[in-house]
Amino acid sequence: MSNSFPERSASSASNDLVCFSHLRWDFVFQRPQHLLSRFAKKQRVFFIEEPVFCDGDSHLQVEKRQDALHVVQPHIKHGTEPEVIDNFLKKEIDKLIDELDIKDFIAWYYTPMMLRWSDHLEPSAVVYDCMDELSAFKNAPQELRDREVELMSRADLVFTGGRSLYEAKREKHHSVHCFPSSIDVNHFARALDVSEEPEDQELISHPRIGFCGVIDERADLELLRSVAEMRPDWHFVMIGPVVKIGEDELPRLANIHYLGGKQYDELPDYIAGWDVAMMPFALNESTRFISPTKTPEYLAAGRPVVSTPIRDVVRPYGENGLVHIASTPEQFVSAVEKAMSEDSEERLRGVREFMKDMSWDITQGRMSELINEVLESREGRASAVTV
């Protein structure tokens, strides 16, 4: 490992943060990126991804994303046995931590599976930021469930990405805290002033009903197909990468347009051109606990929203009249028609009031306070033992 790392400031009292994530930093800009880029304004952050497989020798690749944030990507030689991979990564992470010259750090987990390489470490605090019920996802192994039990026993703090997930986890740990999806309001409010269409969307006719996000087993593709068939005069814009399902599973109709993945900075430009934003999620085990980040993003962008009855969308967005809820294709069509006739100014007033305390800055600040309480408590116990 020949990478050079930033020096730790001798005057800094901040702990470094070492994150273990199944999500890649450069995939989709979502909760991990929002939070950790904010932590990196005050302390060093090292974001360790799952391995990618390569033809060359196994190694860690470390790349800077901002002054204090580095993405660590393990590259593993094709054909390497799983046990060899685990042993290699344990040693390389030890070497990484040694080169970073840190003796105190916060271990932050998005997946319990990466305990396989890190369960020997001794961090100052352990945080499990539980975004989803990963064990309910397609092809989830039993080991994931077992590892989560282990991670919950090690964690000082458990954060959940939504209310339903909080209710499912709160009896399993002594310090579980609900932090639903937050919003960078100013970023998405740019959609209110966009004057030029992106080239790949400008020729699509109106009305446009749009979706942005990962397209995977959580999408109700049959619902999308049925609604598109019922209203051939409407055009459905699908933005995002296709993951864990085959391209041949996507409904292919003349009025459904797949534009691929886009950069986070581009999303307001696309959303601005939609008449309605949609969340056609399937109701299954993989969506039972989701709290879609896109809900507040669509609303901040000034779009009316139609969603299937995902629990963390119904509560609180549906209950507060901010999102239309529909289950069947017929209900979805009716809800879109109603959404297109809304008073946009009245909706925006309600959205602004609802979102006034929902910023990622506020969320990250509250998380920092809880972590500091853990660190101070440990320091106090250590002092008491010393005395």
Q: Is the pLDDT of residue 386 over 50?
A: no
Q: What angle do CA 224, 229, 232 make, to 5 degrees?
A: 110
**Which pLDDT score is estimated for 337?**
98
Beta bridge partners of 281: 219
Longest Cα–Cα distance of the chain, Å, equals: 77
**Which pLDDT score is estimated for 286?**
83
Residues of the chain above pLDDT 70, percent: 94
Q: Is the pLDDT of residue 5 over 60?
A: no
Domain spanning 16-182+360-386: CATH superfamily:
Glycogen Phosphorylase B; (3.40.50.2000)
3-state secondary structure of 125: strand
**Which pLDDT score is estimated for 11?**
28
Give residue-wise pLDDT tens across range 286-302. 898 889 999 999 999 99
**Which pLDDT score is estimated for 139?**
67
Q: Is the pLDDT of residue 382 over 70?
A: no
**Which pLDDT score is estimated for 103?**
74
**Which pLDDT score is estimated for 181?**
85
Give residue-wise pLDDT tens across range 48-76. 999 999 999 999 999 999 889 999 999 99
d(CA 166, CA 158): 9
Mean pLDDT of 156-181: 94
Residues of the chain above pLDDT 90, percent: 81
Mean pLDDT of 273-284: 97
**Which pLDDT score is estimated for 142?**
85
**Which pLDDT score is estimated for 385?**
44
pLDDT higher at 368 or 139: 368
Mean pLDDT of 92-109: 90
Give yes or no on whether 16-182+360-386 and 185-354 have one common fold: yes
For residue 102, name the pLDDT band (cuts at 50, 70, 90): confident
Q: Dump the DSSP string for 57-79.
A: --EEEEEEEETTEEEEEEEEETT
In 3D, which of 249, 241, 236, 259 has the Cα closest to residue 332?
236
Q: Is the pLDDT of residue 248 over 90?
A: yes
d(CA 346, CA 118): 51
In 3D, which of 270, 335, 325 has the Cα closest to residue 295?
325
Domain spans in the chain, listed from the N-terminal domain onward: 16-182+360-386, 185-354
Q: What angle do CA 134, 138, 139 make, to 5 degrees?
A: 95
**Which pLDDT score is estimated for 28?**
86
Backbone angles phi, psi at 271, to 5 degrees: -60, -35
**Which pLDDT score is estimated for 3?**
46
For residue 137, name the pLDDT band (cuts at 50, 70, 90): low
In 3D, which of 87, 71, 61, 95 has the Cα closest to residue 18?
71
Mean pLDDT of 87-98: 94
For residue 22, name the pLDDT band (cuts at 50, 70, 90): very high
Tokens of 256: 């459904």
**Which pLDDT score is estimated for 2?**
41
Lowest mean pLDDT among 13-22, 79-88, 106-115: 13-22
Mean pLDDT of 94-101: 89
Mean pLDDT of the chain, nearest integer: 91
In 3D, which of 132, 333, 92, 123 has the Cα closest to residue 224?
333
Q: Is the pLDDT of residue 121 over 90?
A: yes
Q: What angle do CA 192, 194, 197 make, to 5 degrees?
A: 135
What is each CA distance from 215 to 30, 157, 245, 249, 351, in whole angstroms? 14, 31, 8, 11, 26
Q: Is the pLDDT of residue 13 over 90?
A: no
Mean pLDDT of 317-328: 96
CATH number for the region 185-354 comes to 3.40.50.2000
Q: Is the pLDDT of residue 129 over 60?
A: yes
In 3D, which of 164, 131, 170 has the Cα closest to residue 312?
164
